[in-house]
Amino acid sequence: MTTDEKFASIVAEATEWRRDFHAHPELSFQEYRTSAKVAELLESWGIEVTRNIAGTGLVGTLRAGKAAEGGNRGKAIGLRADMDALPMPEMTGLPYASKTPGVMHACGHDGHTAMLLGAAKYLAETRNFDGTVHFIFQPAEEKGGGGRVMVEEGLFTRFPCDFVYGIHNDSRLTTGHFAITYGTTNAAADTFAIRIHGKGGHAARPHHSIDPVMTAAHVAVALQSVVSRRIDPIESAVLSICMIHGGTATNVIPEEAVLEGTVRTMKAEVRDDMERLLTEVATATAMAHGARAVVEYERGYPSVVNSNEPVDRARRAAAALFGQERVIHDRPPTMGGEDFAYMANTVPGCFIRLGHVDPGTERFSNHHPRYDFNDASLEPGIRFWAGLVEQELVDEQK
Ligand SMILES: [Zn+2]
Ligand SMILES: [Zn+2]
């Protein structure tokens, strides 16, 4: 079998796995079926599997060359895929649409998992490298930070890696194009809840009450001046209020109203400023209306910062396989969060975006009820993972 034939047969299998995962999506930290299937497949190819890291997370370890003969592990790299789906109804009408009502693979993690499995199968069959590769299948990227929990449970002390790489599909890039960029790729993603405590009463006698609903409206407007007036315009920050709740009747001023939303930032200093300013503006604005604001600010995933060395290595691998024209160096970062951040904060890492929009077509964005991972990006994804391993893990004494 030629290399092309081998890839073609693996891509065909990966397409089936992908659609099977798509039909059976599982929520964060509940990827039992997915994780069992991944482990079974890896073991069937002779890859050593360590289960139950962060619950449903697992690592497949493959050694080849001198590293397989014991003793020195040689060079080691980690390749990461995420396995979880989202709590939303699917509207694609596809033959392999979700069989679980209210749960959907709307971010393409089904594709990421199938892609990494395809590379694992190829590398287990060919073993044309010298060193150790850890296939990291993480739970709960969407909610709960499975990547963080894996790191906390000693991912990189148990499976030391010189570098760690992750791939996410990108609905704004052409299929088979790789955006590999220096520095920050994803924002820090925090959430907040602001509780406005007023004084309930009759709607006809507002002067006997303190109106938390009207105060919440002022707080919502006042907060919009934080990014525009208090943060350096050269920096990036987003503050979105996504929920306002309060009241039960048209003639009752309630006791309380709640605003909830998210803050996205690129830099640690800006993140600190946003937390401080949000708290300050919310409490002072509430006070101006005689109410009291209590702010809960919860820090979520930190920003993903790519290290220079793995960026250079990933670019080299992608250019060697697909040509320079398919490697994008200047893709701007996104304000979306990613828990690959915890891995890249521990080991020098590189987060790569793989285009999945065929030329002349449009695709629904991630998290849309009609989103579907493009199977046409399995082939470049699998080839990239395999090529990166073969490029990175070479016996330098040879
Ligand atoms: Zn997502
Ligand atoms: Zn995602």
Question: What pLDDT does 191 receive?
Answer: 97
pLDDT averaged over every residue in the chain: 96
Q: Is 153 a known active-site residue? A: no
Active-site option among 141, 211, 379, 392: 141
Question: What pLDDT does 66 receive?
Answer: 86
Ligand in closest contact with the CA of 367: 1
Inform me whether the pLDDT recorded for 328 exceeds 90.
yes
Among 310, 23, 333, residue whose Cα is nearest residue 170: 333
Ligand in closest contact with the CA of 109: 2
Ligand in closest contact with the CA of 88: 1
Distance 325 CA to ligand 2 centre (A): 25
Inform me whether the pLDDT recorded for 366 exceeds 70.
yes
50's enclosing H/E stretch is strand 48-53
Question: Residues of the chain with pLDDT > 90: what percent?
Answer: 96
Question: What pLDDT does 68 receive?
Answer: 83
Ligand in closest contact with the CA of 110: 2
| DSSP, residue by residue, 86-147 | BSS------TT--SSTT-B--SSHHHHHHHHHHHHHHHHHH--SSEEEEEEEES-SSSS-HH
Predicted model pTM: 0.92
Active-site option among 82, 84, 142, 339: 84
Question: What pLDDT does 125 receive?
Answer: 97
CA atoms lying within 13 Å on the CB side of residue 205: 6
Average pLDDT over residues 121-143: 97
- State the Cα–Cα distance between residues 76 and 32, nearest whole angstrom: 28
- State the Cα–Cα distance between residues 188 and 300, nearest whole angstrom: 7
Counting Cβ atoms within 10 Å, is residue 5 exposed (0-12), middle (13-18) or buried (19+)? exposed
88-123 pLDDT, tens digit each: 999 999 999 999 999 999 999 999 999 999 999 999
> Is 123 in contact with 62 (CB distance < 8 Å)?
yes
Length of the chain: 398
Which residue has 């803050």 as its token pair? Answer: 263
13-53 pLDDT, tens digit each: 999 999 999 999 999 999 999 999 999 999 999 999 999 99
Distance 366 CA to ligand 1 centre (A): 6
Distance 201 CA to ligand 1 centre (A): 43
Among 358, 353, 380, residue whose Cα is nearest residue 11: 380
Question: Residues of the chain with pLDDT > 70: what percent?
Answer: 98
Confidence of residue 279 (pLDDT cuts 50, 70, 90): very high
Q: What is the CA radius of gyration of the chain?
A: 24
Ligand in closest contact with the CA of 82: 2
Would you state the structure tokens that stand for residue 382, as one six-digit string? 């699998």
- State the Cα–Cα distance between residues 146 and 55, nearest whole angstrom: 9
30's enclosing H/E stretch is none
> Is 353 in contact with 186 (CB distance < 8 Å)?
no
Confidence of residue 382 (pLDDT cuts 50, 70, 90): very high
Distance 339 CA to ligand 2 centre (A): 9
- State the Cα–Cα distance between residues 66 and 359, nearest whole angstrom: 43
> Is 6 in contact with 383 (CB distance < 8 Å)?
no
CA atoms lying within 13 Å on the CB side of residue 249: 9
194-203 pLDDT, tens digit each: 999 999 999 9
Q: Is 141 a known active-site residue? A: yes
Distance 368 CA to ligand 1 centre (A): 10
Inform me whether the pLDDT recorded for 293 exceeds 70.
yes
199-228 pLDDT, tens digit each: 999 999 999 999 999 999 999 999 999 999
Distance 203 CA to ligand 1 centre (A): 43
* Residue 281: partners with Cβ closer than 8 Å, 6 or more residues away: 219, 222, 223, 225, 226
Distance 146 CA to ligand 1 centre (A): 13
Would you state the structure tokens that stand for residue 262, as one six-digit string? 């998210």
- State the Cα–Cα distance between residues 22 and 96, nearest whole angstrom: 7
Residue 175, phi then psi, degrees to nearest 5: -50, 135
Distance 356 CA to ligand 2 centre (A): 13
153-192 pLDDT, tens digit each: 999 999 999 999 999 999 999 999 999 999 999 999 999 9
Give the orientation angle of helix 109-126 with respect to helix 378-392, to 10 degrees.
Answer: 50
- State the Cα–Cα distance between residues 349 and 313, nearest whole angstrom: 11
Would you state the structure tokens that stand for residue 195, as one six-digit string? 């509780």
Question: What pLDDT does 69 receive?
Answer: 83
Inform me whether the pLDDT recorded for 72 exceeds 90.
no
Distance 169 CA to ligand 1 centre (A): 10
